[in-house]
Structure 1
Amino acid sequence: MTGHNFTPTALCWLEALLHARFGHNFELIQQAETLILMLPGSEQSICFDQLQSVFHQSRSDFSCQSWKATAEGFVAPIEDKLPAPSETKLPHPLVELKDNCTFIHYDILGLAYWMLTRLEEVGRADLDNHLRFPAISSHAFQHEYLDRPIVDEWLIILGQVIKRVWPQIELKQHKFSIKISHDVDSPSLYGFKPWLTIGRMMAGHLLKRRTLRAFLTAPYVKIGTRKQLHSADPYNTFDWLMDVSEASNLRSSFYFICGRTDPIRDADYEPEHPAIRNLMRSIHERGHDIGLHPSYGTFQKPELIKQEAERLKRICAEEGIKQAEWGGRMHYLRWEQPITLHAWADAGMHYDTTLGYADRPGFRCGTCHEYPAFDPVKQKQMTLKIRPLVVMECTVIDPAYLGLGISQAAEKRMKLLKKRCSLVEGTFSLLWHNSYFKDATCKSIYENILKR
């Protein structure tokens, strides 16, 4: 792909995206430096005549403009001013309705392509200590729109233009939803640790923290973790998590580690352990979902992700667990585009929900709607679905990241992002680890966020 031009496969992918969003089979035709959107059987069309070459490049070093929707009679879903990544200043008016062709002087579909394919991240060297592309390197963070689902916002504006051009058609309606997931890094604080480690933890509880209860709980839980996770284990919050989800008519997804490529960062449990098998069976019997959390060193190694996926599916099959779809999330949100993308597809998975940033919450892909994956390097549409991650609890709370602590400020920030997902009729995707409920306040924040 060169200049402003889309490949035929990219155009087909964009057409599929428009169908999913609006419910109609629009046709996209590239002519020189114009992209034309047509509805079969109609003489009317929409022309995008300001295509941007930056939307076909892996870079973040270009400007961002803004556009005021009400100035041209449109209604913006979140704020009146929409961020508009662009190398050039936006013309006024941005939308011109003419007899047979309505002109949009902004590359809305180029923006969607660039954001959704994560082309911005391909081949980047400005990575963090876990080799992740960080939020702070992104165009969205640098221009202060990471907390806006700007692809969704611009597609809503496009929908309003479509209604003016073809007033007789009805556009597909979407409903706000919530998806809750839990990475099972540590299903038990004590149950799977060696006795030497338990001894050190007991010493810490008694000598440093002066907590006799924790001192006594550690060996009690260790001994009692055989076929079931112990009810006294601080990390065994699984039944409570499912109770909270069911009270809100939600399904939780639990993602299990099924490999060990890093002895420090990976799990201390084996998925074949009777207690883990029983946990998986309990999750399934209660109507919740099980998925994969590939181990730390797998994100550049598709063959390892496939092995770990097969291991999970084998254990589930042995336990009589059947699911219509399989998916999950990468450990530490490690991701290299498009290698990790293909790894998930090659492992026979149906969806991935890794794509949020570890260091800042928000809309890494510019959307909170599920969409089909597309490889911007090989120019290939894939059957894998991307479910963008909006919030990971430690991203907001931990001092290493946003650092708001277990506080009203943290709750407010998460609720703001949830509200914005609602305003664009998308999905609020929240990751909260089973092991992260440090106190009653943490549980209260979690429950408050899930309330409708």
Structure 2
Amino acid sequence: MRDHTFWHSAAALSWMQVLLEERVGQGFVLRVESDDRLTIRRLGEPGAISLKLDGATFLRADSEMACTQWDGVAEGWAMALPGQLPAPGVQCLELPLIRSVGGDYHIGYDILGLTFWMLTRQEEVGREDLDSHGRFPATSSHAFRHDYLERPIVDEWLHILRLVVGRVWPRVVLRQHRFSIKLSHDVDTPSLYGFKSWTMLGRMMLGDLLKRHDLRAFAQAPFIRVGSRKVLHTADPYNTFDWIMERSEAQGLRSAFYFICGRTDESRDAEYEPEHPAIRQLIRRIHARGHEVGLHPSYASYQHAGTIKAEADRLRKIARDEGVFQDQWGGRMHYLRWEQPTTLRAWADAGMDYDSTLGYADRPGFRCGTCFEYPAFDPVMDKAINLRIRPLIAMEATIIDPIYLGLGLGQEALERFEALKAACARVQGCFTLLWHNSSLVSLEQRELYSKVCTMSDISLEGERRPLRQ
């Protein structure tokens, strides 16, 4: 457990150095020079970057800290995104923020402290202002309150740090990144009819006949139910898996499908068992086409490491039995339920390679301040965790459904998705999208999905100013 009041412990600095290697390049060494100054140097080379250190602020587990903005363009720096850059944790900045000091540079803001605070979700530790599903909501976050939730501010600040590195060490080869899209699909309901009890199916059929006046659905339901004993019926409205894979393959993308493998809440978990022949056949088909199989832990598992491990073991056993072997195993919590750092530790203890839960249900955007995958760190135990975090940028329901933003399936929803995607592209990051297979039934749903998942024609609004030499 932490026994100090600063973010920059030896473990945190070691983790931060790994993070800088991934994002900027190798050979950088971090050193705390005083209570208010940290330096970045390169092994065997002259020159240094000093940063203001604000260790206590970025160990706070609340959303009440101050926030100001920095106009980097006014100081001649090329910004990753247009507009002033939010600077959480400070009321005002001493300007100019970035100064040349005898060939070295000084940055008057704790960029690495912000990075620690956002990536470790220190803000969420021990919070009690939760929603009805026990989730920390976007509307309680510092990012929402200060209107930067839809900006990857960690990536934007690290972009500035890269520019300063280029000034101090002009010959250094910086690590290059490339924009990408990762598509994932939580398999809550793989079939509309196939796993329903006959009683429930009868009620659905009555609704089709008397309320919805849908004679086709009324007639098809029992035949689809009977025909789903070994494979998902091709006429089942929720059996959109082949269509999803075809769309991904057309864009050169790989989809991940996360399966529920437990039942801790009868009303919210899946109706299917993962050992069902139709699910086994689906898992084989996904793997055979080169896509990914992953875990979607049950509703009440997020606070119970043993439950998540049992469900992960169950999925891996099914996969082995079906001849499905993957280089990595990951997934996402059901309902995006997450308790920091309890759930983080549980994923690592289950032997999983990555988690992709960390996006908000009630608002899209950058919960972690980044669209890059990164190594996990436990801010309470003060240690690196053997797990990768793949931040979730948008879930389709968050933007489309009336319970959240309610933008529907038209142009307004498309523009919201595209703005998030463009922000990821500007920092050469990854747009991670969750879209449920059961939300691709109508032509309008499929058209919107197809547009959002297109790699080309990304609009990067705003001019990039040339890099100051």
Give the TM-score, by structure 2 length. Answer: 0.95
What is the deviation of 1:86? 2.2
1:376 Cα deviation from its structure 2 partner? 0.3
1:434 counterpart = 2:437: yes
The answer as to 2:372 corresponding to 1:336 is: no
2:164 is aligned to 161
Native 8 Å contact 2:238 2:441 kept in 1 = no
Q: C-alpha deviations, 1:238-289, integer Å up to 9, x for none?
A: 0000000000010000000000000000000000000000000000000000
Report the secondary structure of 1:66's partner residue.
Answer: strand
Partner of 1:451: 454
Tell me if structure 1 keeps the 8 A contact 2:8–2:55: no
Deviations 1:192-213 (A, max 9, x none): 0100000000000010011101
Q: Are residues 1:190 and 2:213 paired? A: no
Q: Counterparts of 1:183-262 in structure 2 under 5 Å?
A: 183-262=186-265
Kept in 2: contact 1:15–1:25 (CA 8 A)? no
The answer to whether the 8 A contact 2:24-2:162 is kept is yes
The list of structure 1 runs, each at least 4 consecutive aligned residues, that deviate by more than 3 angstroms after superposition, is 1-5
- Conserved 8 A contact 1:62-1:86: yes
Q: Which residue of 2 aligns with 1:411?
A: 414
Other-structure match for 1:149 = 152
Give the C-alpha shift of residue 51 in structure 1. Answer: 1.9
User: C-alpha displacement at 1:49, in angstroms?
Assistant: 2.2
Confirm whether residue 131 of structure 1 aligns to residue 137 of structure 2.
no
Match of 1:303 in 2: 306
Secondary structure of the residue aligned to 1:126 is coil
1:121 to 124, 139, 148: 124
Q: Is the CA contact (8 Å cut-off) linking 2:7 and 2:116 kept in structure 1?
A: no
2:25 aligns with 23
Contact 2:184 2:258 in 1 (8 A): yes
Distance in 2 between residues matched to 1:343 and 1:35, nearest whole Å: 33
Counterpart selection for 1:89 from 92, 101, 115: 92
Distance 2:417 2:345 in 1: 31
Structure 1 residue 316: Cα displacement: 0.4
The structural deviation recorded for 1:80 is: 3.4
User: Contact 1:183–1:254 (CA<8 Å) still a contact in 2?
Assistant: yes
**Aligned AA (1:56):** L
Q: Give me the whole-angstrom Cα distance separating, in 2, the residues matched to 1:169 and 1:374.
A: 28
**What letter is aligned with 1:40?**
L
> Which of residues 13, 16, 24 in structure 1 aligns to 2:15?
13
1:70 & 1:405 partners in 2: Cα distance? 36
CA contact (8 A) 1:43 1:100 kept: no
> Is 1:355 aligned to 2:320, yes or no?
no
SS in 2 for 1:178: strand
The structural deviation recorded for 1:170 is: 1.7
SS at match of 1:97: strand
Tell me how far 1:3 sits from its aligned partner. Answer: 4.2
Structure 1: gaps of 5 or more residues: none
- How much does 1:31 deviate? 2.2
Are the counterparts in 2 of residues 5 and 30 from structure 1 also a CA contact under 8 Å? no
Within 1, Cα distance between the matches of 2:354 and 2:440? 27
Residue 50 of structure 1, CA deviation: 4.6
Structure 2 SS opposite 1:435: helix
Tell me by how many angstroms 1:5 deviates.
4.9
How far off is 1:396 after superposition? 0.5
C-alpha deviations, 1:110-169, integer Å up to 9, x for none?
000000000000000000000000000000000000000000000000000110111111
CA distance in 2, matches of 1:73, 1:24: 27
Q: Which moved more, 1:385-394 or 1:48-57?
A: 48-57
Q: Paired residue for 2:177, among 174, 179, 192?
A: 174
Displacement after TM superposition at 1:79 (Å): 1.3
3-state DSSP of counterpart to 1:337? coil
Q: Equivalent residue of 2:303, what SS?
A: coil
| 1:417-449 residue CA offsets vs partner (Å, 9 max, x unmatched) | 001100000000000000012410110000011
Question: Quick check: 1:372 aligned with 2:372?
Answer: no
The 8 Å contact of residues 260 and 298 in structure 2, kept in 1 or not, is answered as: yes
1:111 pairs with 2:114: yes
Equivalent residue for 1:102, pick from 90, 96, 105 = 105
Structure 1 pair 50–307 and aligned structure 2 pair: CA distance change class (3 A): closer
Matched AA of 2:150: D
Q: Which of 424, 427, 436 is matched with 2:427 structurally?
A: 424
- CA shift for structure 1 position 87: 2.8
The Cα shift of 1:43 comes to 2.8
Q: Which amino acid aligns with 2:272?
A: Y
| Counterpart residue number, 1:45 | 48
SS of corresponding position for 2:101: coil
SS at match of 1:430: strand
- Contact 2:7/2:113, CA 8 A, preserved across alignment: no
Q: 1:279-323: CA deviations, max 9, x gaps?
A: 000000000000000000100000000000000000000000000
Q: Does structure 2 conserve the Cα–Cα contact (< 8 Å) formed by 1:358 and 1:392?
A: yes
SS at the partner of 1:253? strand
Give the TM-score taking structure 1 as reference length.
0.99
Matching of residue 278 in structure 1 with residue 281 in structure 2:
yes
Contact 1:52 1:87 in 2 (8 A): no
Maintained 8 Å contact 2:187/2:437: yes
From 60, 66, 70, give the equivalent of 1:67.
70
Unaligned runs of 5+ in 2: 456-469
Alpha-carbon separation, structure 2, partners of 1:400 and 1:107: 38
Give the Cα–Cα distance (whole angstroms) in 2 for the partners of residues 433 and 166 of structure 1: 46
Quote how far apart the aligned CAs of 1:62 are. 1.6
Give the % identical residues: 56
Q: Is the 8 A contact 2:231 2:282 kept in 1?
A: yes
Residue correspondences, number: 452
Instruction: Show CA shifts across 1:358-381 (max 9, x none).
Output: 000000000000100000000111
